[in-house]
Amino acid sequence: MLVLVAPGQGAQAPGFLAPWLDLPGVTERLKWWSAVSGLDLIHYGTEADAEQIRDTAVAQPLLVASGLISTLSVFPESFEGSGPVGVVAGHSVGEITAAAATGVITAEAAMVLVRQRGLAMAKAAAVTETGMSAVLGGDPDAVVKHLEKLNLTAANMNGAGQIVAAGTAEQLAALTAEKPEKARVIPLKVAGAFHTEHMAPAVSTLEDLVPGVTVHDPRTPFVSNSDGRVVRSGEEIVRRVVAQVSNPVRWDLCMETFKELGVTAMIEVCPGGTLTGLAKRALPGVRTVALKTPDDLDAARALVAEHVAHAE
């Protein structure tokens, strides 16, 4: 089984969209999505510096746009579900990419939703100086207890020995000074304590917005960050995507579900690398392709072709 996955915030890098503009139709599509979202995606994806694209209100639309552009490059006929793909999933904001990829919402709705998500989360993050740090290594249960002692939230349980802590700047400074046993702490380039109670105001904003979105059931089953469950209701997927803004991401449980379903291959859409890296450690034997530039498309298409042949 092939799984299509989409990365979350922090995967972006300056200029990462530039090589994709050489593909037919990409510039035109990005101009359209820029108009829809009210954000110049081409400028921010090709010319903006690291600090500019660190802005939550910018980073999130960029990630969804790049994810959908690369998905369309692999599946040019339609990205609303594909026979070779058994399940889809996204990490944090990547869930919006995944929802559009499997036809739950349109690309246009995804761009509006992610732009409003980013703006609302940036506004919530501005109330208090907050952030996130990755904790690598150590015993997972001991790490979580250590974070609780420091009043930090285990916001991302990513598996493969990686837990992301979120909280105030003071709490994160205390974590750097007092690391969990046998663990390293790396500050992340995100501008807020995402997936914690600090984001509750953003959830309220999105709850007021989504009733106007046209929603369909997914054409390909969707694995949810909430608990790793396979979800087949479009309305439930959208509800979970909104609630996830202030609740921890359980990517570890998503990978457990991939294992239970018998996933044998993974394609991570642009800017790929983070989720395939986790899979290499947590899902040994699963073949992976990370779409970083168009140079990676042939490998992704070959993987898809193999699964088409297997299905036949």
CATH at 30: 3.40.366.10
- Average pLDDT of the chain is 94
64 and 45, same structural domain? yes
In the β-sheet with 85-90, what is the strand arrangement from edge to edge? 230-231, 222-223, 85-90, 2-6, 265-268, 287-290
The tens digit of pLDDT for each residue in 219-230 reads 999 999 999 999
Q: How many other C-beta atoms are found inside a 10 Å radius of the C-beta of residue 22?
A: 10
The answer to whether the beta carbons of residues 250 and 271 sit under 8 Å apart is no
The tens digit of pLDDT for each residue in 287-296 reads 999 999 999 9
Of the residues 144, 159, 187, the one at which a domain ends: 187
195 is catalytic: yes
Separation in Å, CA 17 to CA 43, 65, 92, 211, 277:
9, 9, 20, 32, 21
What pLDDT, on a 0 to 100 scale, did the predictor assign at position 298?
97
Of the residues 167, 187, 207, the one at which a domain ends: 187
Closest CA to 112 of 75, 64, 144, 66: 64
Q: Tokens standing for 144?
A: 């979580």
Q: Find the catalytic residue in 37, 82, 133, 195.
A: 195
pLDDT of residue 252 exceeding 90, the answer is yes
Q: What distance in Å separates the CA atoms of residue 121 and residue 132, rounded to the nearest whole number? A: 14
What pLDDT, on a 0 to 100 scale, did the predictor assign at position 311?
53
Least-confidence region, from 190-194, 208-212, 297-301? 190-194
31 and 104, same structural domain? yes
169 and 294, same structural domain? no
Q: What distance in Å separates the CA atoms of residue 288 and residue 277, rounded to the nearest whole number? A: 9
The tens digit of pLDDT for each residue in 82-139 reads 578 999 999 999 999 999 999 999 999 999 999 999 999 999 999 999 999 999 999 9
Of the residues 139, 161, 187, the one at which a domain ends: 187
- DSSP states of 207-267: HHHGGGS-----SS-EE-TTTS-EE--HHHHHHHHHHGGGS-B-HHHHHHHHHHHT--EEE
Which helix (H) or strand (E) segment is 188 a member of? none
78 is catalytic: no
236 and 111, same structural domain? yes
Domain that holds residue 176: 130-187
Q: What distance in Å separates the CA atoms of residue 30 and residue 27, rounded to the nearest whole number? A: 5
Task: Specify the number of domains making up the chain.
Answer: 2
11 and 44, same structural domain? yes
- DSSP states of 113-125: HHHHHHHHHHHHH
What pLDDT, on a 0 to 100 scale, did the predictor assign at position 70?
97
215 and 94, same structural domain? yes
96 and 228, same structural domain? yes
284 and 179, same structural domain? no
CATH number, domain of 167, equals 3.30.70.250
105 and 49, same structural domain? yes
286 and 216, same structural domain? yes
pLDDT of residue 81 exceeding 90, the answer is no
Q: Find the catalytic residue in 37, 70, 82, 92.
A: 92
What pLDDT, on a 0 to 100 scale, did the predictor assign at position 191?
80
What pLDDT, on a 0 to 100 scale, did the predictor assign at position 307?
84
The answer to whether the beta carbons of residues 88 and 101 sit under 8 Å apart is yes
What phi and psi, each to the nearest 5 degrees, are found at residue 280?
Answer: -60, -30
255-261 average pLDDT score: 97
Q: pLDDT-based confidence at 272, cuts 50/70/90?
A: very high
Instruction: Tell me the torsion sign for CA atoms 158, 169, 245, 142.
Output: positive
Q: How far is CA 269 from the centre of its chain?
A: 10
173 and 226, same structural domain? no
Least-confidence region, from 6-20, 176-190, 207-221, 297-311? 297-311
174-201 average pLDDT score: 93
The top-scoring range by mean pLDDT among 70-84, 186-200, 237-251 is: 237-251
- Tracing tokens 């983070």 back to the chain, one arrives at 274
The tens digit of pLDDT for each residue in 2-44 reads 999 999 998 999 999 999 999 999 999 999 999 999 999 999 9
Q: Count the alpha carbons within 13 Å of 264 in the hemisphere toward its beta carbon.
A: 7
229 and 301, same structural domain? yes
CA angle at 104 for the pair 103 and 110, rounded to the nearest 5°: 95
239-245 average pLDDT score: 97
Q: pLDDT-based confidence at 76, cuts 50/70/90?
A: confident
